[in-house]
Structure 1
Amino acid sequence: MQNTQNQGQIAEHTARQYLEQHGLTFVEQNVRYRFGEIDIVMKDRSDWVFVEVKYRSASQYGGAVNALSHAQTQRIRKAASHYIQLKRIDAICRFDVIAVNPQGIQWIRDAF
């Protein structure tokens, strides 16, 4: 578990750097509520971006991109909705996925 958790933290750090290199601004990381979690919150100019980071060490079973279940997307949406209410955000928001694997990084904008 420790190794998997460490790989996840490295993947989140890699994703954050990648997004910053592509012009997004970091806001917050690992926002946790009892009903869901947001890996990274970024801003893309005036848009708010809720980023789910997926890491897979191998590309079998569809790799990191296909590792997001419907239940997970629902939890992320619920967490983001709560975050938006708490922060009183009135702006366009989107959900992106950053898939990290040994072959590289894949950025999926408006993933769900």
Structure 2
Amino acid sequence: MNDQGQAAEDFAAEYLKAKGLKLIANNYRSRFGEIDLIMRDGESLVFIEVRFRKNKAFGGAEESITASKQHKIIMTAAYFLQQQGNQACRFDVVLMDKLDAQHIHWIKNAFEA
């Protein structure tokens, strides 16, 4: 991951913590893929994909979360839940084109398993 991608994930984690979520893990990897952030929102675990795009030359941030990417996240989340115990969860996406709160778009329940 490049420095800008890591900065975006760090910014998203801080933004979400300010909204009341608690960080559980970042850059969680399994043989299926990677989840940028795993956080707790009340009783729910939240698996979060962070997308940063400074320009739309290759499509916007939202378009980059393909069905294949969603599948990898879902499989990685299932692996995490097997290790940690099944619990209520959801899949969120954080999109941004600049590293400031005015340019962040948090989509709760962006997709389902």
TM-score, L = length of structure 1: 0.90
Q: Return the letter of the residue paired with 2:77.
A: A
Asked if 2 retains the 8 angstrom alpha-carbon contact of 1:59 and 1:101, the reply is: no
Cα distance between partner residues in 1 of 2:39 and 2:16? 8
Deviations 1:48-67 (A, max 9, x none): 00000011011455521221
Cα distance between partner residues in 2 of 1:23 and 1:59? 31
Aligned to 1:98: 94
Q: Percent identity?
A: 39
TM-score, L = length of structure 2: 0.89
Q: Return the letter of the residue paired with 2:104.
A: I
Cα distance between partner residues in 2 of 1:79 and 1:33? 6
RMSD of aligned alpha carbons: 1.4
* Bigger helix fraction: 1
Does residue 1:109 correspond to 2:105, yes or no? no
- Give the length in aligned residue pairs: 108
Aligned to 1:78: 75
Structure 1 gap ranges (5+): none
Superposition map of 1:1-80 within 5 A: 5-60=2-57, 62-80=59-77
Structure 2 gap ranges (5+): none
